[in-house]
Structure 1
Amino acid sequence: MAASDSLEEQDTLAAAADAAANAPERVLNQDEIDSLLGFEVGEEVVPERNGIDAIVNSALVSYERLPMLEIVFDRLVRLMTVSLRNFTSDNVEVSLDNVSSIRFGDYLNSIPLPAILAVFRAKQWDNYGMFTVDSNLIYSIVDVLLGGRRGTAAMRIEGRPYTTIELNLVQRMIEVVLQDVQAAFEPLSPVTLDLDRMETNPRFAAIARPANAAILVKLRVDMEDRGGRIEMMLPYATLEPIR
């Protein structure tokens, strides 16, 4: 009886193996291929990455893992509001638009030109950071510091490089902001920030490898009807000593 049961089981397994061998090969459909590669078609919001896309982006660490930075940036907004009011003798309001993680190369490619990029060095951290000042803020600062009338929008002149006067005025503003960044980080990690150079071409402001992750802080500066945006880029390698 046991022998017959064993023979029947072997026959069943052999039949299943023959059926699997003779079955036509299964071809993945487009949805399965997209899922394997990490693409989500037809969905505006993708809650999590999967497949190859997750492997490629695994190096991007969320800034939320560094909770002390929120306190630092809130403090920075308050300090900048006071210092830029004193610097411009105008009613300046600074607000924090967004803090996000991004690859350095992607950020350089997304900078709207014309703009001024200010590279600074953090001595104690032995690394670099960068400010990007957009054209709206540049012309607004120049207009305010050179006595432009209040309530009038700053005039933008496209198609020409920034003059020496404009670069010098923006440099003075960046030096004021650097002092505020130092003061904001003081309770966490004392650091000395020195302006290294000013650039107008993003290719000359490469302070990290394109694939390196960085924190992007977007700040909005409003002066009544004028204003613009200033962005601070801090590679994770720069913040590594204070993690």
Structure 2
Amino acid sequence: MSTATSHPDIRDMLLDAAGLSLDKLPMLHVIFDRMTTHCAESLRQFAASQAYYSLSHVESGRIGDMLDAYEANAVCGVFHVPEWDSHVIVGFDRDLVFTMVEVMFGADGSEPPVDDERGFSNIEMRISQALFEQVAKALSTSFALVKKASFTFERQETRMEFAVIGRRNNLCVAAKFLLQAINRGGEMFVIIPQSALTPMRQTLSRSTAGEGTARDPVWTRHIRTEVNRAEVSLRAILEERQITLGEVADLKVGDVLQLQATPRSKVKLESSDQPLFWCHLGQAEGAYVVRIEDLIDLEQEFLDDILPR
């Protein structure tokens, strides 16, 4: 009697060896873009000054190489993701940490930025941990577009050699973000092993996945509010007529133009040369007014213009 033994899919093994192609994973950029919005929103509860996150770029490489670039210049948070059976690293460079400390303590940017190679203080480490916990929520919400995942904070490291989430020569995807606040900035990075993303590669490769749910409600409301506040000009047209250029040249002060319109004629209401409504002309409190009667059928208007009457 033989016992069946499960073996890794050969396709997964080949993909792990060759690495994922970021060009074929468009949903990763959607997820990280969504993450910037959530990170910016979460900072509002910590600071009065507005802080802006933006996705700088996404790249692939070796975990060790990615971390070595921040040696002695960053603090890292290590997170466990049980749904992926993997770990993730989130890091803040020195400029971001110093900027956020100033923002949280009410600085307005008038003082010169901190330029010090010292180690991070206890206060700076505690603020970093609070920020890591907010980033964990943003990651969880953003990756929910493709697969539910929880990011549990485990520890902080300031020495990159101790930020271990696997072999240093393993392939990873690194997303880098820029923070801007009080005329200063800093960088945040997220390192995810490619082995954690490989099982999701089919979902991440769908450019239309999650489009219905990718809209952020806060930004949607904000954009709608700003659009509704935009000022536009309305024009009420009682009558239009065509005359020749020669007739226009002959016009002089005192000439009278005869109109075919009557008080019962429809008035066209338009904005930016776009017909909107048919209206009726009236008076109220000594001023002319128009009452909206019907929506203009643009298709019918076009047919009326080209067809003989």
- Taking structure 2 as the reference length, the TM-score comes to 0.57
Residue of structure 1 in register with 2:158 after alignment: 200
- Aligned residue in 1 for 2:248: none
Deviation string for 1:108-155 (max 9, x for gaps)? 222242210111111211110101210000111111112323443432
**Which amino acid counterpart does residue 135 of structure 2 have in structure 1?**
V
Q: Choose from 63, 70, 73 the match for 1:111.
A: 70
In the other structure, the counterpart of 1:172 is 130
Aligned with 2:98 (options 106, 121, 139): 139
Please point out which of 159, 179, 192 is paired with 1:234: 192
Indicate if the aligned counterparts of 2:48 and 2:106 stay in contact, CA closer than 8 A. Answer: no
- Of 115, 118, 121 in structure 1, the residue corresponding to residue 80 of structure 2 is 121
Identity fraction in percent: 30
Q: Check if 1:187 corresponds to 2:177.
A: no
Compare CA radii of gyration and give the structure with the larger one: 2
Q: Which amino acid aligns with 1:110?
A: A
Closer/same/farther in 2, CA of residues 225 and 112 from structure 1, 3 Å limit: farther
* Matched AA of 1:167: M
Aligned counterparts of 1:62 and 1:240: Cα–Cα separation in 2: 11
Q: Report which structure shows greater RCO (CA 8 Å, sep ≥6).
A: 1
**Counterparts of 2:133 and 2:152, CA distance in 1:** 8
The one-letter amino acid paired with 1:104 is I
Which whole-Å CA distance do the structure 2 matches of 1:226 and 1:124 have between them? 37
Quote the residue 1:217 is aligned against.
175
Amino acid of the residue matched to residue 212 of structure 1?
N
Q: CA deviation at 1:68?
A: 1.6
CA distance in 2, matches of 1:205, 1:60: 22
In 2, Cα distance between the equivalents of 1:152 and 1:125? 44
What per-residue deviation string (whole Å, max 9, x for no partner) do you get for residues 61-98 of structure 1? Answer: 32222222121112112222222233322211111110
Segments of structure 1 that go 5 or more residues without pairing to the other structure are 1-57
**Distance in 1 separating the partners of 2:51 and 2:42:** 9
Letter matched to residue 117 of structure 1: C
Q: CA RMSD in A?
A: 1.8
Is the helix fraction higher in 1 or 2?
1
Question: How far apart in 1 are the matches of 2:47 and 2:199?
Answer: 34
Gaps in structure 2 of 5+ consecutive residues: 1-16, 202-309
Q: Indicate yes or no: 2:53 matched with 1:94.
A: yes
Distance in 2 of aligned mates of 1:78 and 1:137: 17
How many equivalent residue pairs? Answer: 186
Q: Does 1:68 align with 2:27?
A: yes
- Secondary structure (helix, strand or coil) at the match of 1:69 reads helix
Q: Which residue, out of 146, 150, 163, partners 2:121? A: 163
Moved more, 230-239 or 139-148: 139-148
Letter in 1 for 2:128: V
